[in-house]
A = this chain, B = another copy of it.
Amino acid sequence: MFSLTVCDHIMIAHSFQGAEFGPAQKLHGATFVVEAEFRAAKLDHLQLLVDIGLAKVELRRVLDALDYSNLDDNPTFKGINTTTEHVAFHIHGLLAAACRNGSLGQGGRAVTGLKILLRESPNAWAAYEGPIA
């Protein structure tokens, strides 16, 4: 199995609902370093998994909708805690769709798995991985 990973980051504000979150119930923020790992069993005739340029552009496009914003104000997340786990899941859905719809070229259509990992601090990170149906 091959994988190719590209990396970018966003800077967001948010708060959490639920006593379990303690001080994180207050409005605060995070730099999320986002790693997008594309997986496929084979490379194409150019020895590429996906076009790394397209991968970076699509990741940035997905992140632009979140970057420099307060996630509490984003209708997409209404009533949903934007935990690191959930934001990883959210980005996974959008990048998986980009693979399927051809935005990542033929290589993207051949991607069989995708893992999105978000680092919230040097001591904590979360990820969602799943197949691309």
Which A residues form the contact surface with B (CB < 8 A)? 1-9, 11-14, 16-18, 20-24, 26-31, 33, 43, 46-49, 51-53, 56, 67-70, 80-86, 88-89, 120-130
Contact between A13 and B27, CB atoms less than 8 A apart? yes
A48 partner, pick from B20, B33, B56, B128, beta carbons under 8 A: B20
Number of copies: 6
Question: How far, in angstroms, from A125 to B49 measured CA to CA in the complex?
Answer: 12
In addition to A4-B85, A56-B123, 6 A-B residue pairs with Cβ atoms within 8 Å of each other are: A2-B126, A4-B124, A5-B127, A13-B27, A21-B46, A43-B89
20 contacts between A and B (CB under 8 A): A2-B126, A2-B128, A3-B127, A4-B124, A9-B121, A11-B24, A11-B30, A11-B121, A16-B46, A17-B46, A18-B46, A26-B69, A26-B70, A29-B31, A29-B70, A30-B31, A31-B120, A47-B81, A47-B86, A49-B85
